[in-house]
Amino acid sequence: MSYTIGVPRETAPGERLVSLTPEVVGRLSKSGASVRVESGAGSASFHSDADYEAAGAELVSRDDAFACDIVTKVRPPDSDEIAKLSSGSVLVGFLSPLDKPAIAQELASRGVTALSMELVPRISRAQKMDALSALSGIAGYRAVLEAATLLPRFFPLLTTAAGTVKPANALVLGAGVAGLQAIATARRLGARVSAYDIREVVREEVQSLGATFVELEIEMEEMQDSGGYAKALVAEKAKQQTKLLVPFIGKSDVVVTTALIPGRPAPTLITQEAVEAMKPGSVIIDMAAPNGGNCELTKPGETVVHNGVSIVGSTNLPAEMPVDASQLYARTVLAILKDFTSEEGFTPNFEDEVFTGACVTHGGEVVHERVKGLLQSD
């Protein structure tokens, strides 16, 4: 018995990714799935309808794509999209359950089993399914390119007949996947790079990329949680941290901020005082803008100029590189589907820690404990 997988077109403003690429569709088709792609779903990521047909997909209407046994998406569904899903169907995608738990409640009421890509546990076996890390790496790379474009000077050291141009100073705040990629990219472009993270455990990774690890005179206990994320600082230490960062920010030409804790507002790392300590023409790329931003002057989705410093509140950097971003994302979705489908279709496995970590709704209920707690506290 064949099962159907639907690939609807993403309609969120600025979103250019597609959840499954023709390469992945071809692999699913060979495994026995019937893949139905909404016409035009891949156009923004440069995958034509003809590419999908050649891979074995059937081109369908939007309603038909959402009516499949399994539906794959990139962005969380809105209410109209949830209404198109069939009771008993499966939805796989980024669902923002910790930031927007009401979506989970809607999906449960619809009778949908929902797997949230951002809740895939960060364990070795699940690395192939870690969409968040895959896209974070792209975002870190793109952030530095954006900064290099905006900065009114060179990144690298240049020796010319007219004299020597000193390299730019770049500071990366947060050394997770995005931060490490930002460090590596800034180094490749020739900048002098330093980085700060409250987790001492990432020091060696920062230094292995040729960057200087910034040390602040502040006492830290173990600052990494079981999922590999930085823990939130208590208010007193957070205030102390921002004060101590001011001189490091002030001497930087470029600052890239990446500090995010799922389900919480982004911590403030850059105060107005710190921005005003920077030279005119300097650039801040705030990758935490979707959750409010690490800079207190950030406006999500906008570029703010304060005292000559550009503060870029990018909310979807992977969408600026839709070809590779779609390819990497689609492969993580494929890994999920391969683990939890058989010839008969979707096979939930609540004995599997990857499944239980990612599953938000099933059987008409919200089953993820943390998401349930958020709904009960509202």
Where in the sequence numbering do the catalytic residues fall?
122, 127, 130, 133, 229
Indicate the SS3 state at residue 75. coil
CA distance 30 to 138: 29
Can you spell out the DSSP letters for 287-342?
A: TTGGGT-SBTT--TTSEEEETTEEEE--S-GGGGSHHHHHHHHHHHHHHHHHHHEE
Can you spell out the DSSP letters for 81-103?
A: HHHHSPTT-EEEE---TTT-HHH
Phi and psi torsions of 298, nearest 5°:
-65, 140
Indicate the SS3 state at residue 366. strand
Q: Tokens at residue 3, please?
A: 């099962």
CA distance 172 to 147: 12
Q: Tokens at residue 282, please?
A: 């300097």
Comparing CA positions, the residue from 121, 65, 118, 115 lying closest to residue 90 is 115
Counting other chains too, the contacts that 159-166 makes at CB distance below 8 Å and 24 or more residues apart are none
Burial 102-112 (b: 16+ CB within 10 A, else e): ebbbbbbebbb
Burial 198-235 (b: 16+ CB within 10 A, else e): bbeebeebbeebebebbeeeeeeeebeeeeebbeebee
| Whether 140 contacts 180, CB under 8 Å | yes
With residues binned 3-state (H G I as helix, E B as strand, rest as coil), the percentages for the chain, rounded to 5, are 40, 20, 40
CA distance 291 to 293: 6
